[in-house]
Structure 1
Amino acid sequence: MVEHAKGRPDRLPKGEQPIAEVGADRLDEDGRHAGRLVLTPKTIYFFDDEHHNGSHDDVIDHARFEGAEVTGDETVGTLALTWAGGGTVYEGDTLELEAFKAAIDDQLNP
């Protein structure tokens, strides 16, 4: 598991406030990318720690969000997020990913 940068509120668009945040690795065809998932009232973000210009970040508007599923054991888990037109898998601490998924569920299904 890769160490993740602490929260960087300067990467959030002006006016966005974080509801939940978790360190995670994005797993994709290019390999593993360390970063953090941030839930805001309007959007789910993945901020890539290695690319601070935003070109490798994920931006998932709540209107496009379709679902989330956490799987794993006591220590390492995956969070699969799906949205209209795509989906991505993130790896991290299972309990932290479950808490992040619960925050998504609370925000989108009050």
Structure 2
Amino acid sequence: MIEHAKGRPDRLPKGEQPIAEVAADRLDEDGRHAGRLVLTPDRIYFFDDEHLNGSHDDVIDHTRFQGAEVTGDDTVGVLALTWSGPLKVYEGNTIELRAFKEAIDDQLNP
């Protein structure tokens, strides 16, 4: 996990400051989408690296967030995010996804 992401901050809306970032693939009915998850003080973003126009990005507002769970083995993990919308599932490095979930927990439950 990258703390205070240096990735591509130009994809964040003005005023949003990254807290944590992790490379992840979104898994959905359309297949696998490579990208990255970014935690900010107000939202969780998934930026799809294949569609740079933002049409396949996810934006989860903290007020609509309900929970996160990480499962997996030593190498491949799955992060499931629940919110007042469809379940979002991301796959990546288990250790990095756990650290990202801890950052979410720290941000939402100080």
Common fold: TM-score over 0.5: yes
Partner AA of 2:13 in structure 1? P
Alignment of 1:1-110 (within 5 A): 7-110=7-110
Identity %: 85
Q: Distance in 2 between matches of 1:34 and 1:98?
A: 18
RMSD of Structure 2 on Structure 1 (CA): 0.8
Amino acid of the structure 1 residue aligned with 2:29: E
Shift of 1:86: 1.6
Q: TM-score scaled by structure 2? A: 0.94
Q: 2:59, 2:85 → 1: CA distance?
A: 12
Whichever residue aligns with residue 32 of structure 1, its letter is R
Q: Distance in 2 between matches of 1:30 and 1:76?
A: 20
Q: What residue ranges of structure 1 are gaps of 5+ in the alignment? A: 1-5
Using the TM superposition, give the Cα deviation of residue 7 of structure 1 relative to its aligned residue in structure 2, in angstroms.
1.2
